[in-house]
Amino acid sequence: MAILVRPDTRVICQGMTGRAGSFHTGHAIAYGTRMVGGVRPGKGGKRHLDLPVFDTVAEAAAETAADASIVFVPAPGAAAAMIEAIEAELALVVCVTERVPVLDMVRVRDALAGSRTRLVGPNSQGVLAPGACKIGVMSTVSARPGGVGIISRSASLTSEVVAQTSALGLGQSTTVGIGGDPVHGIGFVECLELFLADDGTDGIVMIGEIGGVEEEDAAAYLASTRPSKPVVALVAGRHAPPMRRMGHAGTLTLFGRGDAGAKTEALRNAGVTIAASADTVGETMRRALRPGRR
């Protein structure tokens, strides 16, 4: 099983006719994802990659019965694209666009309130259920079906942990890149809830970073629920200097908050197993899993 996506998830691409949209839509089709159309205002009625193109998300959803969208719209128009998909009542919207303005994302969060849409991103590498569905830009080279759910703020560390868990024969149920921006869609807590309720997930890996309080929120949630499934975590940025952004907009420690040490300690106190370093995450999960599990 997987979370957020299924083998029959029907996906449209907003910005499909652009270079990035074309490239990654083609890869998704080759992987087996059910891509059913694209959206590009002014190009409705045409075909691209042998798929129909529509002027609006509402038209695309009505004609294709799509229930998910991947957003490849550049940053200035990305918020409008996400809001359009939310208003069209798509169940899942994944946005890979980087550098979406924070105030634009505040508008998107307002649109999400009370909607039926789950948003992943922006600045996300996407969602991947190995062998079933790929929505985003994740590499599929090392991905294998299995029992480890991965939630990550870091794209590069995601690839590393996927490779490790596959090499150890654990595989992944779903990998979710929640994005590194300070204002975004679903986060650690929502993904933890979904993975803990998923019968196909035996253990969960969290890949955190400096900045924000999402890891602390996850720690509070895990401390209150005390799940039976093992949770392994790695928080990157132990040696990052304070008050200096590292990489993307969300990796910033301010006023003594958001540092890797405090996040790691909060997770450890909540019963999470902490990986000593990036190259030990897979082995740490293997040891954390109960005998006889995947």
Q: Which residues are catalytic?
A: 248
Sorted by sequence, the CB contacts under 8 Å of residue 171 that are 6+ apart come out as 130, 143, 144, 145, 146, 147, 148, 165, 294
**What is the DSSP-derived secondary structure letter of residue 167?**
H
DSSP bridge partners of 148 = 172, 203
Q: Residue 56 and residue 141: Cα distance in Å, rounded?
A: 33
Contacts from 45-53 at CB under 8 Å and sequence distance 24+? 48/16, 48/17, 48/22, 49/16, 49/22, 49/25, 51/16, 51/25, 53/16, 53/17
Sorted by sequence, the CB contacts under 8 Å of residue 217 that are 6+ apart come out as 187, 188, 189
Q: Which residue carries 């590009």 as its tokens?
A: 40
Sorted by sequence, the CB contacts under 8 Å of residue 265 that are 6+ apart come out as none
